[in-house]
């Protein structure tokens, strides 16, 4: 295979985090290329083109860290942009910042091997081989789809579509009998979009979720103007919140306020756009069972008000605490179950026996299907990094090093993998992902500049620094109700994946303070040669 000229940095992934990393590293004068599996930029916003796919954090916050020119020239039309808008936006960013000339599309990494003598990474792809001093993996936390395993699924004669592999030209499901499996953020978006279109919709629900209203709305021209004029302030305000959203947690404890005030505040959050129950709730709601019970009681009553059939409503009420799975946003999800063409099948009451050529058979009924939509999620957070075939010093395989769960220093570097960085992966940025992760891209740029200045060729991570960080991440989750949760955050949605908490739970303000401390201390946690 042809080898490219030596690069300073190879970036893997041209989603929102890869694009930003490319922009900042190239602007620093480095020789950089990005490789991307897809034929276009966008990552998540390229692949997830299922009906109803949309952001559930404010568009003008999520994607507005590229440059002031981009912010001034781009006009958001809705509080929460849909997939098509996000795809257009990221194409606009790539063009405006002239990023495409540095991206190789339809290029999939097959291995990524550290060359000890040459002190470079040798990255094999389906097209060519790259040599790069540094590699930045920006492959995303939700980019490897998980497909369920059921008897007879391969015999099904209808269409099977995973939401993250939706055909580019769309699919016309009008008049069909369709089942959607999965009721996470994706399932809920696709269910409420398909219900008015298809002839019959079956919702195959394993675990119900606490969904709260998105309250999306078009941005008025005055609001658009205001957003353009106040970008810098909005940026500062969101960077000051714990998860880089618009609002922050309330300082009172849930049970300290009166029952009336609590109800009023929950109602206020219910009317407000966005993930407010997640980001603006009472501060103890994820650590105190009684507080969380009060919230669940409020949300249960809302479901019972909105779903006419009490038995259906009961099946839609989760048994787990709010926030134990990432809470989805909805628009008219609960009302969908009042439609005569929609059936809710609770798989806990009537498990699937098998699929067959015709459709699906549960313990209670046979359901003929034209199309099965799998909204069954992702091998989240670590899956995309582990597929790169990474081998570091002494042939150390990332897949073995992470066998019991991810091991990183601050979500940025991994011990035994010199000059290999992660943006937006495990144990670091968590919350409004790109808004948190762009700081890490800047941090990597500064580290490379520091190395150039000092004449260092390699940077590795001391095992002790890494172990301390892993312990810190684990201690944080054990202080919250999430310690007992089952979700992709623990890897428990992937058969055979070791249970390990994958994310960092402290505030992003604190996370950035810690990163700054590392920089100011001239990276003494790292090892240079």
Residues that bind ligand NA7 (CB under 6 A): 142, 148, 181-187, 206-207, 326, 347, 375-378, 488, 493
Least distance CB 505 / ligand NA7 (angstroms) = 15
Q: How far is CA 316 from CA 206, 311, 346, in A?
A: 10, 9, 9
Whole-number minimum distance, CB 92 to ligand NA7, in Å? Answer: 23
Helix (H, G, I), strand (E, B) or coil at 191: helix
**Cβ at position 183, least distance to ligand NA7 in Å:** 4
Residues 349, 341: Cα–Cα separation, whole Å: 21
Task: Single out the residue of 358, 328, 364 nearest to residue 344, CA to CA.
Answer: 364
Residue with smaller CB distance to ligand NA7, 328 or 392: 328
CA distance 156 to 177: 14
Q: How far is the CB of 347 from ligand NA7 (least distance, A)?
A: 6
Min dist. Cβ of residue 125 to ligand NA7 (A): 27
Cβ neighbours around 303 below 10 Å, total? 21
Give the residue with the Cβ less far from ligand NA7, 148 or 152: 148
- Is 375 or 526 the residue whose CB approaches ligand NA7 more closely? 375
Pairing assessment for the beta strands 420-422 and 390-391 based on DSSP bridges: unpaired
For residues 182 and 416, which CB has a smaller minimum distance to ligand NA7 in the complex?
182
Nearer to ligand NA7, 14 or 55 (CB): 55
Q: Give CA–CA dist 489/482, Å, rounded.
A: 9
Structure tokens at 167: 């055909």
Contact 133, 8 (CB under 8 A): yes
Q: Nearer Cβ to ligand NA7, position 185 or 415?
A: 185
Asked whether 376 and 181 are in contact (CB, 8 A), the reply is yes
* Shortest distance in whole angstroms from residue 57 CB to ligand NA7: 10
Q: How far is the CB of 209 from ligand NA7 (least distance, A)?
A: 7
Rounded to the nearest angstrom, the gap between the alpha carbon of residue 464 and the centroid of all alpha carbons in its chain is 29
Closest CA to 146 of 375, 325, 324: 375
**C-beta atoms surrounding 306 within 10 Å:** 17
Q: Which of residues 376 and 465 has its CB atom nearest to ligand NA7 in the complex?
A: 376
CB of 167 to ligand NA7, least distance (A): 18
Residue (148 or 356) nearer to ligand NA7, CB: 148
Residue nearest to ligand NA7 (CB): 184
Degrees to nearest 5, angle at CA 344 with 488 and 169: 70
Residue with tokens 């623990």: 490
Of 204 and 473, which CB lies nearer to ligand NA7 in the complex structure? 204
Smallest separation, CB 320 to ligand NA7 (Å): 9
Contact between 203 and 345 under an 8 Å Cβ cutoff? The reply is: yes
* The two three-digit tokens of residue 29, written as one number: 């004068």
3-state secondary structure of 248: coil
Half-sphere exposure of residue 230: CA atoms within 13 angstroms, side-chain side: 11
């Amino acid at each position: 295979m042809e080898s490219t000229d030596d690069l300073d940095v190879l970036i893997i992934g041209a989603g929102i985090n890869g694009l930003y990393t490319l922009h900042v590293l190239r602007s620093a004068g480095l020789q950089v290329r990005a490789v991307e599996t897809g034929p276009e930029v966008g990552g998540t916003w390229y692949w997830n083109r299922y009906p109803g796919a949309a952001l559930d954090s404010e568009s003008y916050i999520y994607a507005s860290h590229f440059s002031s020119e981009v912010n001034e020239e781009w006009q958001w039309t809705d509080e929460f942009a849909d997939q098509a808008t996000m795809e257009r936006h990221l194409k606009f960013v790539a063009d405006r910042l002239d990023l495409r000339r540095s991206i190789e599309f339809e290029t999939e990494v097959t291995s990524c091997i550290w060359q000890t003598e040459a002190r470079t990474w040798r990255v094999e792809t389906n097209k060519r081989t790259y040599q790069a001093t540094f590699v930045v993996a920006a492959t995303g936390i939700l980019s490897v789809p998980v497909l369920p395993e059921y008897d007879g699924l391969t015999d099904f004669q209808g269409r099977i579509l995973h939401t993250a592999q939706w055909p580019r030209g769309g699919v016309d499901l009008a008049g069909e009998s369709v089942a959607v499996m999965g009721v996470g953020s994706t399932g809920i978006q696709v269910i409420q979009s398909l219900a008015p279109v298809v002839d019959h919709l079956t919702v195959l629900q394993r675990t119900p979720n606490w969904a709260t209203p998105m309250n999306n709305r078009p941005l008025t021209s005055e609001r658009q103007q205001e957003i353009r004029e106040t970008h810098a302030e909005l940026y500062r305000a969101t960077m000051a919140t714990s998860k880089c959203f618009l609002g922050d947690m309330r300082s009172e404890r849930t049970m300290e306020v009166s029952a009336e005030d609590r109800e009023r505040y929950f109602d206020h959050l219910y009317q407000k756009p966005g993930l407010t129950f997640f980001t603006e709730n009472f501060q103890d709601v994820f650590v105190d069972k009684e507080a969380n019970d009060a919230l669940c009681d409020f949300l249960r009553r809302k479901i019972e008000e909105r779903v006419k059939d009490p038995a259906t409503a009961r099946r839609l009420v989760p048994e787990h605490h709010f926030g134990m799975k990432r809470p989805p946003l909805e628009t008219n999800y609960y009302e969908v179950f009042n439609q005569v063409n929609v059936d809710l099948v609770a798989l806990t009451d009537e498990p699937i026996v098998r699929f067959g050529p015709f459709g699906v058979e549960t313990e209670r009924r046979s359901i003929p299907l034209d199309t099965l939509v799998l909204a069954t999620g992702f091998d989240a957070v670590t899956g995309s990094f582990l597929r790169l075939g990474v081998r570091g010093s002494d042939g150390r395989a990332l897949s073995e090093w992470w066998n019991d769960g991810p091991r990183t220093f601050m979500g940025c570097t991994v011990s035994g993998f010199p000059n290999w960085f992660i943006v937006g992966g495990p144990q670091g940025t968590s919350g409004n992902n790109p808004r948190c992760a762009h700081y890490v891209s800047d941090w990597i740029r500064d580290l490379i500049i520091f190395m150039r200045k000092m004449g260092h060729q390699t940077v590795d991570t001391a095992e002790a620094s890494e172990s301390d960080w892993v312990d810190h991440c684990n201690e944080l989750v054990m202080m919250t109700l999430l310690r007992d949760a089952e979700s992709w955050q623990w890897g428990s949605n992937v058969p055979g994946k070791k249970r390990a908490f994958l994310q960092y739970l402290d505030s992003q303000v604190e996370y950035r303070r810690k990163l700054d401390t590392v920089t100011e201390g001239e990276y003494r946690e790292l090892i240079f040669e």
